Structure 1
């Protein structure tokens, strides 16, 4: 558990330290309509991570149901490895997100950073609550598609790696914003 908590703390700090100096307008700035703003990246992380919380709760209650496909270890490993590879921060190509995880608004208040910080604390608590399920090698389905299955441990690796990827994406937007505004640093 500690490995994820430490990474979540680091990512949270990176977001807060890098973007808390920005105005609401800057957090919502987009270099083009098809590119997410810094705020949209943050909202996406909150939205996506929260879709796993009901799964974690069902795992802990012992009433989580898996599809038949989850019985095959090679399928579980295949999906886990494939998705983990697809969310690496050094992404070469852009991937489309499932509709349920798209940012919910076009414009966000500066308080999105505080919401993110609160969410990250909740995320760490949720991970702590499923520690025993991790040790049991629990398997879960993606909230977006029940037939995409992977180990809970891999899901947490995916979520944390995905956060790093979106920090990099938000940092790229910030770099473009600095160029646009003629800012240094």
Structure 2
């Protein structure tokens, strides 16, 4: 199975988890924060929506501009790609400061946040399909917070999906904490 196929499976899985776990929860529970500085379920998803609003169109452009028949199925990683991926892996329990405009803390959020997240997952699936004709190793994706730096198409797709895994798991922990609190 190729990396793109694995990413596609992960995206499908994340969409299923978000639908199954969060779609039937009421608004107050979706906005519950375990601590004042923590994010709610919806804040975790809004954070991902903010990243998707940037990366989905930028990836679409990079893929379109590099789909010239030179498809390279395997991904090679730059130092920036490796560092970025290591930082967002769900296994990396280290907290990282979020750039201000990507931090959804204290936002007024609703079920629409979940709907937007699911829409972004569909867009990402389409991007992965289109990426199957692109050079995945082309440095063509400006990094959101410092656009002079560029990531490769393949590593950016992996970064986006891995980042989503991290924060969906965070949202699931918030739900777990909420369930424990309700049971007590």
What is the TM-score with the length of structure 1 in the denominator? 0.81
* Unpaired runs of at least 5, structure 2: 67-76
CA contact (8 A) 1:80 1:151 kept: yes
Quote the residue 2:62 is aligned against: 59
Please report how far the alpha carbon of residue 178 of structure 1 lies from its aligned counterpart in structure 2 after TM superposition.
1.1
**Structure 1 range deviating more: 3-12 or 121-130:** 121-130
CA-based RMSD of the aligned residues comes to: 2.3
Question: Is 1:37 aligned with 2:37?
Answer: no
Please report how far the alpha carbon of residue 60 of structure 1 lies from its aligned counterpart in structure 2 after TM superposition.
4.8
Q: Deviations over 1:142-182 (max 9, x none)?
A: 12112433211011111111111011111111111112211
Quote the residue 1:23 is aligned against: 26
CA contact (8 A) 1:45 1:163 kept: yes
Please report how far the alpha carbon of residue 38 of structure 1 lies from its aligned counterpart in structure 2 after TM superposition.
0.3
Q: Give the direction of change, closer, same or farther, for the CA distance of 1:51–1:105 in structure 2 (3 Å limit).
A: farther
CA contact (8 A) 1:24 1:109 kept: yes
Q: State the SS of the aligned residue for 2:89.
A: coil
CA contact (8 A) 1:56 1:130 kept: no
What is the TM-score with the length of structure 2 in the denominator? 0.82
Please report how far the alpha carbon of residue 62 of structure 1 lies from its aligned counterpart in structure 2 after TM superposition.
3.9
CA contact (8 A) 1:26 1:177 kept: yes
**Structure 1 range deviating more: 123-132 or 85-94:** 123-132
CA contact (8 A) 1:100 1:144 kept: no
Quote the residue 1:174 is aligned against: 175
| Matched residues, number | 171
Q: State the SS of the aligned residue for 2:167.
A: helix
Quote the residue 2:112 is aligned against: 111
Q: Give the direction of change, closer, same or farther, for the CA distance of 1:156–1:61 in structure 2 (3 Å limit).
A: closer
Q: Give the direction of change, closer, same or farther, for the CA distance of 1:157–1:62 in structure 2 (3 Å limit).
A: closer
Please report how far the alpha carbon of residue 20 of structure 1 lies from its aligned counterpart in structure 2 after TM superposition.
2.0
Q: Spell out the pairing of 1:68-87 with structure 2 (5 A cutoff).
A: 77-87=78-88
Q: Give the direction of change, closer, same or farther, for the CA distance of 1:146–1:111 in structure 2 (3 Å limit).
A: closer
Quote the residue 2:74 is aligned against: none
* Unpaired runs of at least 5, structure 1: 64-75
Please report how far the alpha carbon of residue 104 of structure 1 lies from its aligned counterpart in structure 2 after TM superposition.
7.7
